[in-house]
Amino acid sequence: MKLHTQISIALVAGALAGLASNYFGIGWLQSTLVAIEPIGTAWIDLITMVVVPLVVASLVVGTASLGDMTKLGRLGGKTVAFYLVTTAIAVTIGLVLSNVIVPGGRIDPATLESLRNAYMDESAQQVQTAQAQDTGIVDMLLGMIPRNPVAALTEMRMLPIIIFSIFLGAAVSVLPEDTGGSTVISFFDGINEASMKMVHWIMKLAPYAVFALIAAVVAQFGLEVLQSLLVYCAVVIGGLVLHLLITYTSALKFLAKVDLSEWFKRIREVPLIAFSTSSSNATLPVTMETAEEELGVSRESSSFVLPLGATINMDGTALYQAVATMFIAQVLVGQLALTAQIGIVLTATLASIGAAGVPSAGIIILVIVLTQALPAGVDPAAGIALIFGVDRILDMCRTALNVTGDLTAVSVIAVSENETLTVDAPRKPSEARSAA
C-alpha cells in the first residue's frame, strides 16, 4: 500500500476513534488515545531533527551552484513578491466572507459568557506571551542577522539560518579552485543527501504518528465548543478552501501551467502531514523532498523558496487572523469600518510573516492584529477567549493550506526560471511545435 494511502487511513481511523471516545464518553478509550500522543510527538521531534541540517546543506549547495548571483536576487524578489501578493489575497478573502456572513452576529450571549469563563485564563497567558515577544519591527529586522550563527542554529531561528547559509554558499561559489571550495560543496552535498535519506526513513513511521496525533486531539476536543462556534469555523475553513480553489489553482494553471490533478496527487502527503502536526517547520523536510522528487523542482529553487516559505508564507494563518479579528470585533464592538479593515490587510500580512511555523503561533500573533484593529481599551484577551477552544482544529487546517501555498510558489517560480516540472500540463500540439 502506498504511503499516502496509509497516512490517509491513519488520519480517518484516528479521527473516528477520537470522535467515538468523545461522543459516547468512553473513558478508557479517551485516556488510551491521550496516552499514545507521545508517539506522535516523538515523530514530530524526529522529523524536526532533520530541518536544520537539511536547510543549511541544501541552501549552501543551492546558492553555490546558482553560479550567477544576480539569479539569487531575482529568485528572492520573485519569492517575496509571490508570498506577499498571495497573502494579501488570502486576507481579503477572509474579510469579504466575514462581512457577508457576519459570524460574530450569530452567537447568543449565554454561549459567549460560557466561552469567556472557560478560556479567559489561557487567553490572558497568550496575550502575555505575545507582549513578551513583540519587540517591534526594527528589532525584528535586526534579529534576522545572526551575530552568532551557531546560536541561531541551536535555537532553530529560521530566518537568520537562511541568511547565514546563503552568505556561506555565495562565498564558497567565488572561491578559487585551490582553496577548498569544492570540498565544502561536496561536504554539504553529502549532508543534504543524508538528510533526504533520513526523511525517507522517518516518513515510513508517519502513519503511526498521524494516528496518534489525530486521535489524541479529537479525543480531547470539546464537541460542544465546536457546535457553539460552528459558523466562525465554517467561515475560516470556507475561506481556506476558496483560497485554494481560486488563488492556488489559478496560479498553478496559468503561471506554472501544470496538470492540476497530477500536481495535487503528487503533493497530497504534504498537507496531510501539516494537518496532523500543525507545524510548517516540522513539515518542511517532507515539503522539500516532495518538491524535488515528486514535482521535479531543482534543488536551487526548492532550497531557496521552501525554507523561506515555511517561515514567511502563511496564507492560511493570515486568512484566519482576518476572520478571527472580524469575528471578535463583531462580538465585542460591532462591525469595523473600512479603514480599520484595510489596516487588517496590512497587519495580518505582516503578522503572518512574523509567525513561526509551529503549532499555535497564529493565535499568539493574533494579539498584534487585534490590538491594532480594536478600539483602544478593549482587552484582546477577552476576544481570544472566545475562539481559543477551536484554535487547534483551525490550526491544523490553516497549516495544511500554508504548506500547499509554499508548494504552489515553488512550482510557479521554478517554471518562471525555465525549469521543466514532471507535472507540466500536456501541451497542445501547436504549443509543442512553437517550443520546438
The dihedral sign for the CA sequence 103, 359, 111, 125: negative
Q: Smallest distance, Å, CB 283 to ligand ASP? A: 8
User: Rounded to an integer, what distance in angstroms lies between the CA atom of residue 320 and that of residue 93?
Assistant: 10
**Smaller CB separation from ligand ASP, 207 or 357:** 357
Instruction: Work out whether 361 is an interface residue with ligand ASP (CB under 6 A).
Output: yes
**Smaller CB separation from ligand ASP, 242 or 255:** 242
User: Rounded to an integer, what distance in angstroms lies between the CA atom of residue 157 and that of residue 356?
Assistant: 9
Instruction: Work out whether 370 is an interface residue with ligand ASP (CB under 6 A).
Output: no
CB 193 within 8 A of CB 31: no
The dihedral sign for the CA sequence 180, 181, 185, 186: negative
Instruction: Work out whether 347 is an interface residue with ligand ASP (CB under 6 A).
Output: no
Instruction: Work out whether 90 is an interface residue with ligand ASP (CB under 6 A).
Output: no
Residue whose C-beta lies closest to ligand ASP: 362
Indicate which single residue of 123, 301, 341, 399 sits in contact with ligand ASP (rule: CB under 6 A).
399
SS3 assignment for 340-358? HHHHHHHHHHHHHHHCCCC
| Residues in region 277-316 near ligand ASP by CB under 6 A | 278-280, 314
**Smaller CB separation from ligand ASP, 48 or 279:** 279
Instruction: Work out whether 323 is an interface residue with ligand ASP (CB under 6 A).
Output: no
Indicate which single residue of 146, 285, 362, 405 sits in contact with ligand ASP (rule: CB under 6 A).
362
**Smaller CB separation from ligand ASP, 247 or 278:** 278
User: Rounded to an integer, what distance in angstroms lies between the CA atom of residue 338 and that of residue 341?
Assistant: 5
Instruction: Kindly tell me the burial class for residue 150, based on how many C-beta atoms sit within 10 Å of its own C-beta (0-12, 13-18, 19 or more).
Output: exposed
Indicate which single residue of 395, 406, 419, 424 sits in contact with ligand ASP (rule: CB under 6 A).
395
Indicate which single residue of 358, 367, 384, 410 sits in contact with ligand ASP (rule: CB under 6 A).
358
Q: Smallest distance, Å, CB 286 to ligand ASP? A: 13
Instruction: Work out whether 86 is an interface residue with ligand ASP (CB under 6 A).
Output: no
Instruction: Work out whether 355 is an interface residue with ligand ASP (CB under 6 A).
Output: yes
Which one-letter DSSP state was computed for residue 44?
Answer: H
Instruction: Work out whether 271 is an interface residue with ligand ASP (CB under 6 A).
Output: no
- Tell which residue, 39, 56, 42, 35, has the closest CA to residue 146: 56
**Smaller CB separation from ligand ASP, 400 or 414:** 400
* Angle subtended at Cα 156 by Cα 152 and Cα 162, rounded to the nearest 5 degrees: 70
**Smaller CB separation from ligand ASP, 168 or 401:** 401
Distances (CA, A) of 348 to 320, 353, 373, 390, 406: 9, 9, 10, 20, 18
Indicate which single residue of 398, 404, 406, 423 sits in contact with ligand ASP (rule: CB under 6 A).
398
CA atoms within 13 A on the CB side of 418: 2
Q: Which residue has the cell 551557531?
A: 150
Compute how many residues bind ligand ASP; rule: CB under 6 A.
16
Instruction: Work out whether 87 is an interface residue with ligand ASP (CB under 6 A).
Output: no
**Smaller CB separation from ligand ASP, 303 or 402:** 402
Q: Checking phi first, is residue 156 left (phi over 0); if not, alpha (psi -120 to 50) or beta?
A: left
| Stretch of residues binding ligand ASP (CB under 6 A), selected from 47-55, 129-137, 187-195, 395-403 | 395-403
The H-assigned helical ranges of 221-314 are 223-228, 230-243, 249-250, 260-267, 269-277, 280-289, 299-312
Residues forming the site for ligand ASP (CB under 6 A): 278-280, 314, 317, 355, 357-362, 395, 398-399, 402
